[in-house]
Structure 1
Amino acid sequence: MTSEKRGIDPRNAEPRSVGTWAKRYYYANRAAVDAVLRPHGIGSTQWAVLHELTENGPTTQRDLGRALHVERASLSGTVATLIRKDLVHQAPSVTDQRQKVVDLTAAGRALWDALPDPFAEVRRVALSGLDVEEIAVAIHVLQTATEQVNQHTFD
């Protein structure tokens, strides 16, 4: 559906509205994902840690933080919570005792196997009734804008 059909005049659209709606979607999506995961006793960041460990196996905590784009202090708290829940364990790295390696426990693997894919559930609701071409345009716009901002130097 074109912008004119939606009552939007692209010549007068506020440039910041793309960012505003991207941010609103992010927060709505995150809240919905957390609601899907809540009955399972975990949140979206904990799910992301379990997902990363499921996909890539034991990982140093430093590499886990980089992969998830999570700050060290936040990740430490998340890992500590998952340890208390007996979903992950942590041990010193064999090659570098200063590094901590995080891995799933048997309970963590069992929980992972029982979890729904919260993003698929939320995506199904969020994108219901939208044309595939509209979704592709939205992805293209946000991806391109993100890449351009990341590549630009704002010094």
Structure 2
Amino acid sequence: MPTDDDVRRQQKPHPGVQIDEAPLGSLLLQTVRAHAALATSLLAELGLAVPQEVVLLYLQDHGRVPQSELVRFMGRDRSTVTATLQTMERAGLVERTPSKTDRRSMDVDLTETGHALCPRVRAAWAELERLTFGPLDQRQRDDLASALGAARDAARTHVTEKGDQP
């Protein structure tokens, strides 16, 4: 007898919402959701959940950092980042230690296990890139990167002008 998971796998994914007044925005949202679902699947194979992979790669690139820097980098509230780091700490991927310069703050660093996982995380991101953008030729990739960068910058500018955090 088929399970609910079997039935869901056989169904076509929902196409998403098409908003006539915002055709690009609604298509972008559909694309982001499909990309995120694929990323979630690839990361689950590594035993990770979003955004744990980004934390690993940031720490690999920057070394030990104050936890407040990760909060700023991730653009999430402190309690959400703390919960993510606690989960990663229990999994043996990161270690949090009291700061040597500020007793009120914690520093975060990769463990050996976290370091060892980083090449596999980068490979998963490369696979995500291949699966998502493989059908595009180089010119299309360049045009898409330029267009997405301009759209991102425009949105950030408007958020900044409103006085909110980008």
Settle same-fold status: TM greater than 0.5: yes
- The structure-2 alpha-carbon separation of the partners of 1:142 and 1:116, relative to structure 1 and needing over 3 Å to count, comes to closer
- Please say if 1:106 is aligned against 2:136: no
* Alignment partner, residue 9 of structure 1: none
* Alignment partner, residue 93 of structure 2: 87
TM-score, with structure 1 as normaliser:
0.82
Partner letter of residue 133 of structure 1? R
SS of aligned partner of 1:97: coil
Residue by residue, what CA displacement relative to the aligned partner does 1:5-27 show, whole Å, maximum 9, x if unpaired? xxxxxxxxx56121112222212
* Alignment partner, residue 145 of structure 1: 151
For 1:47-62, list aligned pairs within 5 A.
Answer: 47-62=53-68
- The structure-2 alpha-carbon separation of the partners of 1:15 and 1:123, relative to structure 1 and needing over 3 Å to count, comes to farther
Q: Distance in 1 between matches of 2:46 and 2:156?
A: 36
> Gapped runs of 5+ residues in structure 1?
1-13
- The structure-2 alpha-carbon separation of the partners of 1:119 and 1:62, relative to structure 1 and needing over 3 Å to count, comes to same
Report the alpha carbon displacement of residue 140 of structure 1 after superposing the two structures with TM: 2.1
Q: Distance in 2 between matches of 1:116 and 1:48?
A: 10
Report the alpha carbon displacement of residue 30 of structure 1 after superposing the two structures with TM: 1.5
Runs of 4+, deviation exceeding 6 Å: none
- What percentage of residue pairs aligned between the two structures are identical? 27
* Alignment partner, residue 76 of structure 1: 82
Residues 121-130 or 50-59, more deviating: 121-130
- The structure-2 alpha-carbon separation of the partners of 1:114 and 1:136, relative to structure 1 and needing over 3 Å to count, comes to closer
SS of aligned partner of 1:42: coil
Give the root-mean-square deviation of aligned CA atoms.
2.1
How many residues were matched structurally? 143
Report the alpha carbon displacement of residue 72 of structure 1 after superposing the two structures with TM: 1.3
Report the alpha carbon displacement of residue 137 of structure 1 after superposing the two structures with TM: 2.2
TM-score, with structure 2 as normaliser:
0.77
Residue by residue, what CA displacement relative to the aligned partner does 1:78-104 show, whole Å, maximum 9, x if unpaired? 000011111111111111111110111
SS of aligned partner of 1:44: coil
- The structure-2 alpha-carbon separation of the partners of 1:55 and 1:154, relative to structure 1 and needing over 3 Å to count, comes to closer
Partner letter of residue 53 of structure 2? W
- The structure-2 alpha-carbon separation of the partners of 1:48 and 1:134, relative to structure 1 and needing over 3 Å to count, comes to same
Q: Distance in 2 between matches of 1:86 and 1:39?
A: 17
